[in-house]
Amino acid sequence: MMRSNWRAVALLSAGLVLAGGCGRFGGGRDGAKVKGFGQEKNRKEEAVPVEVVRLTRGPMEAILRLSSNLEAERAVTVYAQAPRLVRELLVEEGDAVKKGQLLVRLQDDEQRLALQKAESQYRQAKEEFERQQKLYDQQLVAEQVYIDAHHALDQAKVAYDEARQALSYTRVRAPISGIVTERLVNLGDSVTINQALFKIVDFDSIVARVYVPEKDLRRLKVGQPARIFATALGEKPLAGKVLRISPVVDPKTGTIKVTVAVPNQPGLRPGLFVDVELVTDVHPDAILIPKRALVYDNDQVFAFRVGMDHRAHRVEVKILLQTADTVEPVDGFAPGDMLVVAGQAGLKDGTLVRLPGEPEPTAYEGKKGDRRRPRDARRKRP
């Protein structure tokens, strides 16, 4: 009986030892699994650091930007009208002249003598005609004598006028007011008929001619403002305006010639290269989105807006107007919206983000899907 009891005790002890070993082996492995699952479940979602801007309202302009070279609408070349020697030069390059001002005197000795002779003959013919007219009125001479005297007077008048004109050709005058841009003759030169002597430009007639695509014709009108940028004159633009719009479209280029008046400023020169901005529309109270916030995906444009949940939400941007660095959306945005402008390359819709100067947010801060901007972000600008 005692042997049987000891055998039962021994078997029971062995069973307990095996059970304990299995418990340690199996329990340790299962315990690791449970512990690992808990760690994964409790691990925080890492936030992506980004930079943002707060949207504001402001004026927005629709602009056509084109290039041109300045031209003077009133520019003339002054020619000699008689073959003579240059006796006196009265102006030099860069001089301002008035219309009718004397520029150069040519040799005029022969013309002066010819004028004196013609003037004398004209006076004699006039006196003779007046004498014959009195006699004819008294019926003391025949009608033919009177007619011949009248004819002689007419011929003398023509000769006198021609002599005066020939003398005037020796005095070359400015046909317009402006600046002498070129002197093409020297003192003592023997000039010929139609030889160029000077070039004069009216700097108050400076224009820029640009060629606008026909699709933009409806956006153009005479008098609308324009800005002219010239590298040679610095960054400040000149204020111009549309002077004329051509009534025809060039069939080869599909463009319309637009003439822009440019105010006269020191440093402006015909031929100067300029950029012309035509302001075709103005929205004084537009939502302004910096182009740094835009992300392009094939034909779609979108931005990431940070909500109260500290997550970046992808929002489509439909562009109404745009400039070199700003766009105005059709709708979908409001002043104060926070848009990501740096760090958006790694974002997806709903990505947890961290703004500069803010503590690390957790996945449970803010209800997911709350697209309003973060509370801290509303209190301070990034």
Condensed to tens digits (0 to 9), the pLDDT of residues 212-236 reads: 999 888 889 999 999 999 988 888 8
Residue 51, pLDDT > 90, answer: yes
Token pair for 169 = 């050709």
Task: Over range 87-112, report the average pLDDT.
Answer: 94
Is there a single domain that holds both residue 139 and residue 252? no
261: in domain? yes
* CATH code for the domain of 327: 2.40.420.20
Is residue 100 a part of any domain in this protein? yes
Same domain, 156 and 235: no
Give buried/exposed letters for 151-181 (b at 16+ CB in 10 A, else e): ebbeebeebbeebeebbebbebebbbbbbbb
Examine residue 355 and state whether it is found in any structural domain, yes or no.
yes
Give percent of the chain with pLDDT exceeding 90.
64
Domain that holds residue 131: 109-169
Confidence of residue 314 (pLDDT cuts 50, 70, 90): very high
Q: Are residues 299 and 327 in the same domain?
A: yes
Measuring CA to CA, how many Å separate 102 from each of 90, 98, 186, 367?
7, 9, 16, 87
At 199 the pLDDT is 97
Residue 42, in any domain of the structure: no
Does 269 map to a domain?
yes
Distance CA 144, CA 148 (A): 6
pLDDT at 141 over 60: yes
Q: Does residue 121 sit in the same domain as residue 146?
A: yes
In this structure, the number of other CB atoms found within 10 A of the CB of residue 361 comes to: 20
**Per-residue model confidence as pLDDT tens digits over 264-273:** 888 888 999 9
Q: For residue 38, what pLDDT is reported?
A: 46
Question: Is 300 found in the same domain as 191?
Answer: no
Place of tokens 């500290």: 310
Spatial separation of the C-alpha atoms in residues 304 and 315, rounded to whole Å: 6
Query: Three-class SS string for 238-306?
Result: EEEEEEEECCCCECCCCEEEEEEECCCCCCCCCCCEEEEEEEEEEEEEEEEEEHHHCEEECCEEEEEEE
Q: What are phi and psi of 31, to 5 degrees?
A: -65, -40
- What is the reported pLDDT for 186? 96
Q: Looking at residue 42, what is its pLDDT? A: 53
* pLDDT(9) > 70: no
Question: What percentage of the chain carries pLDDT values higher than 70?
Answer: 82
Residues 82, 197 within the same domain? yes
Residue 315 confidence (pLDDT) above 70: yes
Of the given ranges (139-143, 231-235, 322-326, 339-343), which has the lowest mean pLDDT?
Answer: 231-235
Clarify whether residues 299 and 370 are in a common domain: yes
Question: What is the predicted pLDDT for the residue at 228?
Answer: 94
**271 and 243, same structural domain?**
yes
Q: If pLDDT is split at 50, 70 and 90, which confidence band does 339 have?
A: very high
pLDDT at 136: 85
Q: How many distinct structural domains can be found in the chain? A: 4
| Residue 330 confidence (pLDDT) | 93
CATH number at residue 93: 2.40.50.100
- 300 lies in the same domain as 348: yes
What is the number of other CB atoms lying within 10 angstroms of the CB of residue 85? 13
Q: What is the mean pLDDT of residues 38-43?
A: 51
**Cβ-based neighbours of 20, under 8 Å, separated by 6 or more:** none
**Token code pair at residue 244:** 């004329």
Residues 181 and 249 reside in one and the same domain: no
CATH code for the domain in which residue 154 is found = 1.10.287.470
Residue 2 resides in a domain: no
- Among the candidates 234, 262, 282, a domain finishes at 282
Domain boundary among 249, 282, 315: 282
Q: Do 254 and 308 lie in a common domain? A: no
Q: In this predicted structure, what is the pLDDT of residue 33?
A: 43
Check pLDDT > 60 for residue 6. Answer: no
Domain end call among 186, 201, 216: 201
Side by side, the strands of the sheet bearing 96-97 are: 75-79, 196-201, 178-183, 96-97
Domain-located, residue 92: yes
Residue with the bigger pLDDT between 93 and 373: it is 93
Instruction: For residue 163, tell me if it sits in a domain.
Output: yes
Confidence check: pLDDT of 90 > 90:
yes
- Within 8 A by CB and 6+ apart from 8, the residues are none
Residues 82, 193: one domain? yes
